[in-house]
Amino acid sequence: MYNITAALIKGMDVDRAVNREVLLAAVQTAIFCKLTGRVLDVKSTVLFTVSGPEVGRAAAVVTADAWDGVKDAIQESTAEKGLKLEVLDGRELYS
């Protein structure tokens, strides 16, 4: 809720504030990286969501290092299959 309050009171961009809250909730729910098993830190975590009419919607929360290792393959695969890829990167949201 702090991010939303900051957006309202301190002038933080509302989209950025909402994205921070979404990422924070994902980290609090997952706790561990799906790929490495390491404990997640919201400032160095990536939430990526893949969606499409035939596959529905799936999301994963991973460390930034893990994301950097699979990003190209996931971007290529989703583009190839015509799927939508959404990425919330804590490194960008908290910089």
**Count of structural domains, the chain:** 1
Tokens of 18: 């909402």
* pLDDT tens figures, 2-22: 556 666 666 778 888 899 999
**How high is the pLDDT of residue 7?**
61
Tokens 């997640």 found at: 40
Among residues 69, 70, 60, 65, which one has the least CA distance to residue 91? Answer: 65
pLDDT in tens, 39-86: 999 999 999 999 999 889 999 999 999 999 999 999 999 999 999 999
Of residues 50, 56, 3, the one with CA closest to residue 25: 3
Query: Which pLDDT value is given to residue 82?
Result: 96
Q: Taking residues 31-45, report their average pLDDT.
A: 97
Residue ranges making up the domain that contains 36: 2-93
